[in-house]
């Protein structure tokens, strides 16, 4: 069975399969397709949407979710990730892991025969982006040829998965970030190889949104970077805030997206977050539906 550690672990065709399954799951959320399956949620970091959406999703499909805080597991006392994985493989049918270091996620997956899903690492957040692109498909009819503008920290995990996932889906991404916070060149190159010319980088947010179908932002300070918060606020504000002025520089029907949680009046104003352009809570809901389809896909099931 395959793992889902990166958004690129699914081909373009497989992404479409997952979204088609999501359509059916959203229309009929309850089934027994995971009956008898035990799914472990192994989390090193705090979570609201990811934890609850996975737990509810497993329950709705007749499976049994098990939550384990890594800080209270033997991992916190120095047990190697590989030994944890070899042991869990004997107990559970799938592990959904939220980790600090992506390399630990890879070690876990290599030590297990059963599937591992990346519920967020320092490198990627693939479940988030699969749900976000599904939401764009739902709202605009297709992801292909759509123009997405990301405003903020272009080096973070959400932006990385957004660039790669959008490239696979045939969308273009423009990232507006201050100097020192641009996307990694290796990721930009990888995205452009997946879909030629799909990613552009600028330091001008107004230029980035001028022809955007979607404006996307995220917090300036990701989990684990809390000590950098004051410095980051100085760098990002006010230029990289999504506010009414920036929205008015985009096409009138532009959509606003945020993976949440949002820091009000930092990366986005309340006026935009709760305004007519915002679809952030539709995004949040779709995490539940898309993640159910991802789990079924990895178990080789269809609906």
Q: Which two tokens stand for residue 210?
A: 């001028």
Question: Which tokens go with 140?
Answer: 């605009």
203 is catalytic: no
Q: Is the CB of residue 212 less than 8 Å from the CB of residue 175?
A: no
Q: Is residue 39 part of a domain?
A: yes
- Asked if the structure places residue 1 within a domain, the reply is no
Query: Do both 52 and 136 map to the same domain?
Result: no
In a domain, 279, yes or no: yes
Spot the catalytic one: 98, 147, 258, 289: 98
Cβ contacts of residue 29 below 8 Å, gap of 6+? 60, 289, 292
Task: Catalytic residue, from 104, 259, 277, 291: name it.
Answer: 259
pLDDT of residue 274: 98
Do both 118 and 135 map to the same domain?
no
CA distance 18 to 41: 21
Q: Is 125 a catalytic residue?
A: yes
Cis peptide before 261 (omega within 30 of 0): yes
- For this structure, is 98 an active site residue? yes
Q: Are residues 87 and 167 in the same domain?
A: no
Catalytic residue among 49, 125, 137, 258: 125
The answer to whether residue 119 is domain-embedded is yes
Q: Is 287 a catalytic residue?
A: yes
Q: Is residue 54 part of a domain?
A: yes
State pTM to two decimals: 0.96
Based on the residue annotation, tell me whether 218 is a catalytic residue of this protein. Answer: yes
Q: Is residue 303 part of a domain?
A: no
Pick the catalytic residue from 218, 258, 277, 283: 218
Tokens of 73: 């597991």
**CATH code: domain of residue 143:** 3.40.50.1370
Range of the domain at 201: 128-283
Q: Is residue 74 part of a domain?
A: yes
Annotated active-site residue in 3, 127, 128, 289: 128
Q: What is the pLDDT of residue 111?
A: 98
pLDDT of residue 195: 82
How many domains would you assign to the chain?
A: 2
List the chain pLDDT tens, one digit each, 303 residues.
699 999 999 999 999 999 999 999 999 999 999 999 999 999 999 999 999 999 999 999 999 999 999 999 999 999 999 999 999 999 999 999 999 999 999 999 999 999 999 999 999 999 999 999 999 999 999 999 999 999 999 999 999 999 999 999 999 999 999 999 999 999 999 999 998 678 999 999 999 999 999 999 999 988 677 788 899 999 999 999 999 999 999 999 999 999 999 999 999 999 999 999 999 999 999 999 999 999 999 999 999
176 & 275 share domain: yes
Distance (Å, whole) CA 248 – CA 215: 12
pLDDT value of residue 1: 62
Residues 87-100: b if buried by 16+ CB within 10 A, e if exposed: ebbeebbbbbbbbe
Query: Catalytic site residue 101?
Result: no
Q: Does the residue 188 lie in any domain?
A: yes
């Amino acid at each position: 069975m395959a793992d889902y550690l990166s958004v690129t672990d699914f081909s373009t065709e497989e992404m479409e399969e997952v979204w088609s399954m999501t359509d059916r799951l959203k229309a009929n959320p309850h089934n027994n397709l995971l009956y008898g399956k035990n799914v472990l949620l192994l989390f090193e970091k705090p979570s609201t949407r990811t934890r609850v959406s996975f737990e509810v999703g497993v329950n709705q499909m007749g499976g049994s979710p098990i939550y384990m805080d890594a800080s209270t597991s033997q991992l916190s006392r120095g047990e190697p990730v590989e030994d944890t994985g070899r042991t869990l493989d004997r107990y559970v049918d799938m592990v959904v892991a939220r980790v600090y270091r992506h390399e630990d996620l890879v070690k876990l997956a290599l030590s297990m025969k059963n599937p591992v899903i990346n519920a967020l690492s320092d490198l990627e957040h693939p479940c988030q982006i699969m749900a976000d692109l599904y939401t764009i498909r739902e709202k605009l009819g297709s992801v292909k040829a759509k123009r997405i503008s990301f405003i903020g920290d272009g080096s973070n995990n959400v932006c990385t998965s957004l660039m790669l996932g959008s490239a696979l889906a045939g969308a273009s991404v423009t990232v507006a970030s201050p100097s020192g916070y641009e996307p990694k060149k290796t990721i930009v190159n990888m995205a452009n190889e997946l879909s030629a010319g799909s990613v552009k980088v600028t330091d001008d947010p107004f230029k980035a949104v001028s022809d955007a179908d979607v404006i996307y932002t995220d917090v300036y300070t990701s989990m684990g970077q809390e000590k950098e918060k004051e410095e980051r606020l100085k760098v990002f504000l006010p230029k990289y805030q999504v506010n009414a002025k920036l929205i008015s520089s985009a096409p009138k029907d532009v959509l606003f997206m945020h993976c949440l949680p949002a820091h009000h009046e930092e990366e986005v104003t309340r006026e935009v977050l709760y305004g007519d352009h915002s679809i952030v809570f539709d995004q949040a809901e779709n995490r539940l539906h898309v993640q159910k389809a991802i789990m079924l896909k990895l178990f080789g099931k269809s609906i």
